[in-house]
Amino acid sequence: MSRGFRVVLVLALLLQVVLLFMELRPQPRALWGDEIMYADLAARWSRGEPATLDLLWPPLYPHLLAWARALDGGLVAMRLFQVACLFAAAFLWRDLARTFTGSAWTGDLCATLLLLDPQVASFTQFLWPEMLHLVLFAAVVWILVNRGDRGPFLVLAGALLGACLLCKSVLGPFLPVVLLPLAWEAGWRRGALRAATVAVACGLVVLPVMTSNARQQGAFVVADGARFNAWVGLNDRSRRNLVDEIVGLEYRRWQQSAPTFPERERLLDERIRALVRERGVWPVARAQLARQYFRLFHHASFFTDQLPGGAIASQGLGYRGVSAAVASAFRAYGAAAWALVLCGAGLGLAALPRERRAFVAMLLAFVAYNLALFFVLHVKTRYRVPFLPVLDLLAAAGIAALAGRGTPLGPLPHRIAGAALAMLALGLAFL
């Protein structure tokens, strides 16, 4: 481990201390959105009280919160666990970047971008499943890249994939693509067997939850928020998340629309189809294109929106007692870090890693998959966190190429295309 990266680790720990202090002093941060629901469910379950989680949300994270609350009566253990998740994910992506590029410097930079980005680091203190999902997905990719020829590790990868789905269900439709590099690298017959091993282990993890949901709520799913998020996404009005929000109102309407989850989903499906028929496919597509990616890439993150002057803070929630000067400093820091990642990622596309290309292609497809989903689904800046490590990897590769420490930049057309994408992303973020 280089001296420079040891300094990064110290800075990352200091950042966590600052974020913890802001979380608790001089007043605890006021929870917002799903955090309130998660905290309430955890408190009830930790006391043994009955409480039902709507099938819009997977169950793992609130259960984990309940265990943490039962352990220490508060949430200190959970926050420490989430800090450990962030650092573990950073080390896993560091090793993956080194494997893909052959450059230790690129690996260190990838981990640095992840650890010191406040829009990511702040989630160690929040009651959201982002950190857990981040480390689970990183572990799955690391195992498939480095231990994909060993049966026990494939079983472990499948179990971790199942945990990913129990944490955030957005990954579900992408699972076949995650496993595709196994078949590509090992040959279709051997690779199919390996992929099947992962898939079976994943299925064994999620099957009890799906069976329980089918028995109790009439839907054989882990969770399914696709229709609800599509409806909200089609009806959002602002180019910024948290402005003119309609989620709470639509959620109450969804709850009151029918007594069971399948009936609510059927009614919502009818409403979505009627909306598209009424407005027309192309007008709907134009409206989505003009709004969704501004919301996704905006420089104000879920963290800065909770600082004084942010959209959440303006509702009387988020951080309390933080000075205007500290808020301004973090806002500038967060915007600069985001701009660096976007610029570097564009260049990284012109310096794509040349090792294990099937897995690199899968990670790029993961970003594309998220972008395709959020063309329709409701968007918050929080939703970019799962694919941020891939952008960090690309940014590290691009910056390393400029510094002469990694894979060289490709031909001129590749550089032009990468620069154009970087400019587009910056425009979405800052215009």
Task: Determine the pLDDT at residue 221.
Answer: 93
Percent of the chain with pLDDT over 90: 75
State the Cα–Cα distance between residues 422 and 404, nearest whole angstrom: 20
Decide: 304 and 381 in contact? Cβ < 8 Å: no
Decide: 130 and 380 in contact? Cβ < 8 Å: no
Task: Determine the pLDDT at residue 286.
Answer: 95
Residues 376-404, mean pLDDT to the nearest whole number: 94
- Whole-Å CA distances, 3 to 14, 37, 96, 402: 17, 43, 20, 22
Task: Determine the pLDDT at residue 5.
Answer: 93
pLDDT over threshold 80, residue 406: no
Residues 178-193, mean pLDDT to the nearest whole number: 88
Decide: 55 and 219 in contact? Cβ < 8 Å: yes
Residue with token string 């609800």: 228
Task: Determine the pLDDT at residue 180.
Answer: 94
Highest mean pLDDT pick, 11-25, 72-86, 344-358:
11-25
Task: Determine the pLDDT at residue 395.
Answer: 96
pLDDT over threshold 80, residue 251: yes
pLDDT over threshold 80, residue 74: no
Task: Determine the pLDDT at residue 404.
Answer: 84
Highest mean pLDDT pick, 68-82, 138-152, 177-191:
138-152
Q: Give the model's confidence band at 185: pLDDT under 50 very low, under 70 low, under 90 confident, else very high.
A: confident
pLDDT over threshold 90, residue 126: yes
pLDDT over threshold 90, residue 243: no
Length of the chain counted residue by residue: 431
Task: Determine the pLDDT at residue 20.
Answer: 93
Q: What is the pLDDT of residues 265-292, one digit of tens each?
A: 999 999 999 999 999 999 999 999 999 9
Q: What is the pTM of this model?
A: 0.94
Q: What is the pLDDT of residues 313-339, one digit of tens each?
A: 988 899 988 999 999 999 999 999 999
N-to-C CA span, the chain: 40
pLDDT over threshold 80, residue 89: yes
pLDDT over threshold 90, residue 52: no
Of the ranges 110-114, 172-176, 416-420, 424-428, which one carries the lowest mean pLDDT score? 416-420
Every domain of the chain and the residues it spans: 3-430
- Identify the sign of the CA torsion 240, 367, 372, 263: negative
- What residue type is assigned to position 337 of the chain? A
Task: Determine the pLDDT at residue 75.
Answer: 77
Per-residue 3-state assignment (H helix, E strand, C coil) for the chain: CCHHHHHHHHHHHHHHHHHHHHHHCCEEEECCCHHHHHHHHHHHHHCCCCCCCCCCCCCHHHHHHHHHHHHHCCCHHHHHHHHHHHHHHHHHHHHHHHHHHCCHHHHHHHHHHHHCCHHHHHHHCCCCCHHHHHHHHHHHHHHHHHCCCCHHHHHHHHHHHHHHHHHCHHHHHHHHHHHHHHHHHHCHHHHHHHHHHHHHHHHHHHHHHHHHHHHHHCCCCCCCCHHHHHHHHHHCCCCCCCCCCCHHHHHHHHHHCCCCHHHHHHHHHHHHHHHHHHHCHHHHHHHHHCCHHHHHHCCCCCCHHHCCCCCCHHHCCEEECCCHHHHHHHHHHHHHHHHHHHHHHHHHHHHCCCCCHHHHHHHHHHHHHHHHHCCCCCCCHHHHHHHHHHHHHHHHHHHHHHHCCCCCCCCHHHHHHHHHHHHHHHHHHHC
Higher pLDDT, 409 or 371: 371
Higher pLDDT, 412 or 152: 152
Residues 11-30, mean pLDDT to the nearest whole number: 92
Task: Determine the pLDDT at residue 109.
Answer: 97
Task: Determine the pLDDT at residue 86.
Answer: 98
Tell me what the pLDDT averaged over the chain comes to: 92
pLDDT over threshold 90, residue 108: yes
State the Cα–Cα distance between residues 147 and 259, nearest whole angstrom: 47
Residues 350-364, mean pLDDT to the nearest whole number: 88
- What residue type is assigned to position 75 of the chain? L
Task: Determine the pLDDT at residue 257.
Answer: 92
Q: Give the model's confidence band at 231: pLDDT under 50 very low, under 70 low, under 90 confident, else very high.
A: very high
Q: Give the model's confidence band at 25: pLDDT under 50 very low, under 70 low, under 90 confident, else very high.
A: confident
CA 358 from centroid of its chain's CA atoms: 22
